[in-house]
Amino acid sequence: MTIDVCLEMVHTDLPYEKRIEKIAEAGFKCVEFWFHDAKDAAVLRQVCEATGVTINNLVVNAPDGSVGGGPVDSRDHGKYIDRLHEVIAFAKAAGIGMGITCTGNLVDGLSREQMRANLEKVYAEAAAIAAKNDFTLVIESLNTHVNHPGYYLDTSLEGNVIANIERNIDVIGHFHSAGVPGRHELMNCELNYLEILKRIGAAGYTGAFGLEYSPSYDSSDSLNATYAYLKEYMG
């Protein structure tokens, strides 16, 4: 598998192209980021070519639907599809082949069954658009305990991590990781990430494993320590 670093979480005082350079200096060869807005596809492609870094994915829409609409709400479907076209165009220019899509938050007055029907309808259209453009869409589940109260798709985030991964590996297209609790470095937290990574690899996963954590100290030092911790999986 590939280990990637989320640009939004490290070296946050630097422009995105400089963040890529710093991540490459730490030894990582893959990154991801959230929204494409305020980013320059040509600049990103150029710095990636210069540093030997690839961009695994970007995010299509905001978890709560504030950017790009919430697919659980049929009133947002037009906005969501328009946003998807825009994101795919940017991704092509930047050399990115995957997008993360969020479901949006629970909608007052709709049952979960109605919201799921809305999701299935618009995601069928989105999947056809993505396939036509050789673009992969992955749906993100998020926790409602800390970061995203009210989010529709909040499973499978209920513990039993390795067993859930092994049971569902055939439909997992991406991983995000951070230390628990606190969302900091992967070392010295309640999750044994080395064992998790070993079992993910043994299950045949060949995609990216994203580091979406907030450094608890200097970003360069944190990335260096994280690289040393994960070095057997860096390839």
Higher pLDDT: 147 or 222? It is: 222
Please return the burial class of 39, using the count of CB atoms within 10 Å of its CB with bins 0-12, 13-18 and 19+. middle
**What would the mean pLDDT of 44-60 be, rounded to a whole number?**
98
Decide if pLDDT at 40 tops 70. yes
Average pLDDT over residues 205-221: 98
Pick the more confident residue, 166 or 234: 166
- Could you give the strand order of the β-sheet that contains 98-101, starting from the edge strand earlier in sequence? 136-139, 98-101, 54-59, 30-32, 2-6, 208-211, 175-177
pLDDT in tens, 83-128: 999 999 999 999 999 999 999 999 999 999 999 999 999 999 999 9
Helix (H) or strand (E) holding 5: strand 2-6
Q: Give the DSSP letter string of 185-214.
A: -STTSSS-HHHHHHHHHHTT--SEEEE---
Q: What is the pLDDT of residue 44?
A: 98
Q: Are 26 and 233 in contact (CB under 8 A)?
A: no
What single-letter amino acid sits at 208? A
- pLDDT-derived band at 235 (thresholds 50, 70, 90) equals low
Q: CB within 8 A of 140, min separation 6: which ones?
A: 59, 63, 100, 101, 102, 103, 153, 176
- In the block, which residue shows the tokens 């990574």? 197
Which residues are paired to 136 by β-bridges?
98
Range 17-36 average pLDDT: 98
**Residue 6 exposed, middle or buried by CB count within 10 Å (0-12, 13-18, 19+):** buried
pLDDT at residue 5 tops 90: yes
The answer to whether the beta carbons of residues 2 and 53 sit under 8 Å apart is no
Tokens of 126: 């989105």
What are the sequence ranges of the domains in the chain? 2-233
Superfamily of domain 2-233: Divalent-metal-dependent TIM barrel enzymes (3.20.20.150)
Q: Is the per-residue pLDDT at 8 higher than 70? A: yes
CB atoms within 10 A of CB 153: 21
> Are residues 98 and 136 in contact, defined by beta-carbon separation less than 8 angstroms?
yes
Q: Note the helical H segments in 26-160.
A: 41-51, 77-94, 112-132
Lowest pLDDT segment from 26-35, 50-59, 151-160: 151-160
Q: Mean per-residue pLDDT for 70-75?
A: 98
Confidence of residue 21 (pLDDT cuts 50, 70, 90): very high
How does pLDDT run across 121-170, given as a tens digit for each residue? 999 999 999 999 999 999 999 999 888 999 999 988 888 999 999 999 99
- Token reading at 84: 């998807």
Q: pTM for this one?
A: 0.96
Q: Is the pLDDT of residue 233 over 80?
A: yes
Mean pLDDT of 58-64: 98
